[in-house]
């Protein structure tokens, strides 16, 4: 089995563990496993896209996760992609995401930056809504493609899955990367078992993020199998 597929299988197991731990109210553990699921997906797609090497995949992508996606956008010539497939221009979520990329890049990647885990419930809900809206808009594009144009339909479906995964994984990485360490280890007056409780906004919205991760796993699997044969 190719390495990117192995990472995807491990990500599926991480998600299963997330659900089990969440049901038992082991919130810090469940958030850590979801972070691991997301990181495995990032590595999987980074390998598949030849943006990272297998040697790089063996170390923690962590703080640099979104950098993987900026490189993918660069390599895939995203603007040219939108020009080639005009139906994509109608997806307003794509334009919003593109407009935020430079802001993300300039504000989130100072290597000395201290990550903040205290996203508000409103911010997290907006993130969830944006991803759901993107998914709905991309599905609408699929429905409008003439079913008789089988090759174009298959190609556009691949591209739509690609766009969804770029968007969801970059935002999921933004939300969950701070928890790779914080959810596991006490620091000074910080006790994960006390902080990660049912009053924490991320815990309150975690079931929605699990669904997004599951949908992303499914679309990555489609990307790997439908057009390229894995």
Query: pLDDT tens digits, residue range 94-132?
Result: 777 666 655 555 544 444 444 455 678 888 898 899 899
CA dihedral 78, 79, 83, 89 (to 10 degrees): 90
Cβ neighbours around 101 below 10 Å, total: 16
Residues 159-179: pLDDT tens digits?
Answer: 889 889 988 988 888 888 888
List all residues 6 or more positions away from 160 whose beta carbon is below 8 Å from its beta carbon.
88, 138, 141, 142
CA atoms of 126 and 110, how far apart (whole Å): 24
Least confident of 28-37, 68-77, 197-206: 68-77
Cβ neighbours around 2 below 10 Å, total: 12
In the Cβ-directed half-sphere of 220, how many Cα atoms lie within 13 Å?
A: 31
Query: Which two structure tokens, joined as six digits, stand for 189?
Result: 């007056």
Per-residue DSSP letter, 47: H
- In the prediction, which pLDDT does 120 show? 84
pTM of the model: 0.85
Who wins on pLDDT, 71 or 54? 54
Query: Which two structure tokens, joined as six digits, stand for 9?
Result: 């299988």
CA atoms of 117 and 103, how far apart (whole Å): 19
Who wins on pLDDT, 220 or 163? 220
What residues does each domain of the chain span?
A: 3-226
Query: Which two structure tokens, joined as six digits, stand for 185?
Result: 């280890």
The residue-averaged pLDDT of 176-205 equals 88
């Amino acid at each position: 089995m190719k390495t990117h597929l192995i990472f995807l299988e491990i990500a599926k197991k991480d998600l299963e563990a997330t659900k089990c731990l969440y049901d038992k109210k082991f919130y810090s553990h469940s958030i850590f496993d979801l972070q691991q699921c997301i990181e495995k997906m990032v590595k999987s797609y980074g390998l598949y896209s030849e943006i990272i090497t297998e040697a790089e995949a063996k170390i923690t992508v962590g703080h640099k996760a979104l950098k993987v996606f900026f490189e993918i956008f660069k390599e895939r010539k995203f603007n040219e992609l939108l020009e080639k497939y005009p139906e994509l221009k109608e997806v307003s979520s794509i334009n919003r995401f593109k407009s935020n990329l430079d802001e993300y890049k300039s504000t989130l990647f100072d290597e000395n930056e201290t990550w903040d885990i205290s996203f508000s419930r409103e911010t997290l809900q907006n993130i969830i809504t944006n991803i759901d809206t993107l998914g709905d808009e991309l599905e609408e594009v699929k429905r409008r493609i003439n079913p008789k144009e089988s090759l174009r339909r298959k190609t556009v479906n691949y591209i739509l899955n690609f766009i969804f995964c770029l968007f969801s994984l970059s935002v999921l990485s933004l939300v969950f990367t701070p928890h790779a360490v914080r959810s596991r280890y006490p620091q000074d007056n910080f006790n994960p078992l006390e902080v990660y409780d049912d009053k924490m906004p991320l815990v309150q919205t975690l079931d929605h993020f699990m669904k997004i991760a599951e949908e992303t796993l499914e679309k990555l699997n489609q990307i790997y199998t439908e057009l390229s044969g894995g």
